[in-house]
Chain A
Amino acid sequence: MSAVLAPTSMYSTAISSMSNGRFLRAYLIEAKYEFLAALRAPAFAVPFLILPAAVYLFFGVLIAGSSKDAPPHIADFLLSGFAVFAVLGPALFGCGVGLALERESGLLRLKRAQPAPTGAHLVAKMLMAMAFAAIAAGSVLIAAVFAGKIGLSATQLLIMSVVFVAGSIPFSAIGLFIATHTSGNAAPGFANLVYFPMLYLSGLFIPLPKTLQHWTVIWPTFHLDQLALAAAGVKQYSFVNPLISAAVLLATTVVFGGLAIRQLQRKG
C-alpha cells in the first residue's frame, strides 16, 4: 500500500473545476449504474420487464384478439394500452419507491456531500425509467408484431415506441413527487394508490361503464395512450386532440417534477 501512496502529489493536487466532458460523463455514468442497479434487483426488473408482454399476450392476444366480433383496429388499441401499462410501472415505482428508499437510507445526503452534479441522480432515475419503458413496451410491440394481428406498419410502430419512451417522463415526475413527499415505508402505498386508478380507470384495455368513461380524461395514462394512437394514425380510437394530450403530459411533468425538485432543495 505504501508504494501505491508514495507520490506525495497524489492527494495534494485536487482541482475543483470540472470540464464539460467530465460533467457529461458524470451524468452518463450515474445513468448507467442506475440502470444496472435496477436490472440487478429481481423484485423490480422481473415484473416490470416481463409482465407487460406476458399480460398482453394473454389478455390482448389470446382472449380479446381471438374474438370474431372484435371491432377493427382493436388489436392496435390494445397494443397501445398494454404498452402504456409497460411504461407506467418502472417510472412510478422506480423513481417513486426507489428514490424514497434512497432518501431514507441517507444515499441522497451522501451524494450531496460528495460533489455529485446537481440533478444527476434524478436525471439518472428518469433515464433508467425510460430504458425500462423501452424494453418493456418494446417487448409488447414485438409480441404484437408476431402474435397480435395488428394493422400497423414498421414506421407507425417506431413512432409509437418513441412516444412511449418519452411518455415515461411525466410518470417519473409523479414518482419523484411521491418519493420526495413520503417516507420510504409509505411510498409503495402511495405509488399503488396512483398506479391502479391510472391503469384501470383510464380505459386503456378494460371497457368502462359510461359514467367512468367521461372521467378518463383526468388520467395522464389516457393522454399518453391517445398521443401514441394519434401519432401512429389510429384515428378510430383517437378521442381527444393530440395537442391537448401532449399539453396534459407536459403540464404533469412540469408540476410534479417542479414540486419534487422544490421539496428536494428544501428538505433533501
Chain B
Amino acid sequence: MNQPQHEFDLIRALARPLGAAHAPQTAETTREIRACTTPLSASTEQLAELCGVQKRYGKTVALDGVDLAVNPGEILAVLGPNGAGKSTAISLWLGLAEPDAGTARLFGQQPSAVDSRRKVGVMMQDVALAPGLRVRELIDLTASYYPDPLSVETTLAVSGTQPLAERRFGKLSAGQKRQAQFALAVCGRPQLLFLDEPTVGLDVEARALLWQTVRELRVSGCSVVLTTHYLEEAEALADRVAVLARGRLIASGSVEEVRSLVSRKQISCATALSSDDVRGWPGVVSVTQQAHGLHITAIDAEAVVRRLLAADSQLRDLEVRQAGLAEAFAELTKEAA
C-alpha cells in the first residue's frame, strides 16, 4: 500500500484517551456550527439527513442524538476515530440499520425505500465481491440495478479502471479492488455518492485519479459523503467536515471553520531556551523539547513569540502555523471527552 508522503492518519492523531463517559458537548463554538438544525418538514432541500438519531448496539452507544445533513452539490467528509459512529451513520442513511430514536431520511423518504437508493452510489469497506467475475462483468451487474446507468465502457473510463476491465476481481490487489468498487459506485449515475474510506490501499496515482473523479462528480451535480482517516483527503476534497466522536457530532463546518474552532497555534524554533524555561509562560499550552529547539503549542502565539525573541536574541528557524486538521480534531475530541 503506497501512502502519500504527507498523509496523516487520523487514528494516530486521535489516539489520546477520550475518557470513559459519553462525550459531552462542551465547546460552545462547536454547538454553534452544528449542521442539522433543519426540521424534517423542510427536508426536501437536503439529500440525506439524520435528525436526533440515536443508535445502540447492545450496551454500546453508536450514535447519540446526532443531527447531520447532506446538502445538494456538496462534498461532506465525515471524520472521526474508529468507533466514532461514522459507519453507523452511513448504515442509517442507506437503510441498512434503523435508528432507535430520531429520524433518518434519504431524498426525503425512508432510506429503506428502494426508489431513494436508486439515486445513490455506494462504496463500502470490507466487501468481497464474486472473485470469479471480471471487473467489466461486475459493472454490468451493478448497472442493471439502476434505471438509467452509464454504459460499462463509460464507467470504466470515468473510474480509470479500463486496465482492470478483463481481470477477475479475486485476482486484483487490494488497491485495485477499491478502484473496481469505486467504478461500481459511480455506474448508476448517482445523485449522492457514499464513499467509505475510498482510498485505503490506493497508490498515489490511483488516489489522485479518484479525487479528480470525485471533484468532477460534484461539478456534474453529484453530492458526496466521504468517510476517511486521511486528513489530506478531507482538506483536498471536502466542502464541509463533520467530526464524530463517541457517537456525537462534535463539530461540523468548512475545513477552515473546524480548524478555527481551535485557536491554538504551533510554534517551532531553534533556541538555547529549555522547555522548563518556557513551560510556565502565559499562553503556553505545552512544550516539547526537540533536538535543536522547542515545539510549543500556544493559545496566544504572538505574545509567546515576542517573549521568545526577547529571551533569546540568537533564536532562529522560527515557524508559526495554524493547527492542521489533525491537531484540531485532537483538541476537539479531547474537549469532548
Contact = CB atoms under 8 A, between A and B. Distances in A.
Contacts of A11: 186, 189-191, 217, 220-222
Contacts of A115: 114, 117-118, 120, 145-146, 188
Interface stretch (A21-29, A169-177, A189-197, A237-245): A21-29
Q: Which of A4, A19, A40 has the most CB of B within 10 A?
A: A4
B148 A15 contact: yes
A30 B138 CA distance: 10
Interface in B79-97: 94-96
A26 B160 CA distance: 25
Contact of A8 (B124, B140, B220): B220
A36 B132 contact: yes
Given A19-B147, A114-B145, A8 B222 contact: no
A22 B149 CA distance: 11
Interface in B115-154: 115-120, 122, 124, 126-133, 137-138, 140-142, 144-148, 150, 154
A52 to B, nearest CB: 22
Interface stretch (B208-216, B277-285, B303-311): B208-216
A211 interface: no
Nearest to B121: A114
B144 A37 contact: no
Interface in A133-189: none
Interface string B142-186: 101111101000100110100000001000000000000000101
Nearest to A124: B141
Contacts of A5: 158, 213, 216-217, 219-220
B147 A4 contact: no
Contacts of A116: 145
B117 A113 contact: yes
Contact of A12 (B115, B145, B191): B191
A105 B129 CA distance: 8
A266 B140 CA distance: 29
Interface in A27-54: 29-30, 33, 36-41
Contacts of B221: 8, 11-12
Interface string B217-244: 1011110000000000000000000000
B115 A17 contact: yes
A25 B144 CA distance: 7
Chain B binding surface, main DSSP class: loop
B141 A30 contact: yes
B184 to A, nearest CB: 8
Q: Which of A7, A10, A36 has the most CB of B within 10 A?
A: A10
Contacts of B160: 1
A128 to B, nearest CB: 11
B189 A13 contact: yes
Contacts of B146: 14, 115
Contact of A36 (B133, B150, B189): B133
Given A4-B157, A115-B118, A12 B220 contact: yes
Contacts of A114: 117, 122, 142, 145, 184, 188
A5 B150 CA distance: 11
Nearest to B157: A4
Contact of A18 (B129, B141, B147, B190): B147
Contacts of B122: 110, 113-114
8 contacts: A4-B158, A12-B221, A26-B144, A29-B141, A105-B127, A112-B94, A113-B95, A116-B145
Interface of B: 94-96, 107, 114-120, 122, 124, 126-133, 137-138, 140-142, 144-148, 150, 154, 157-158, 160, 168, 184, 186, 188-191, 194, 209, 212-213, 216-217, 219-222
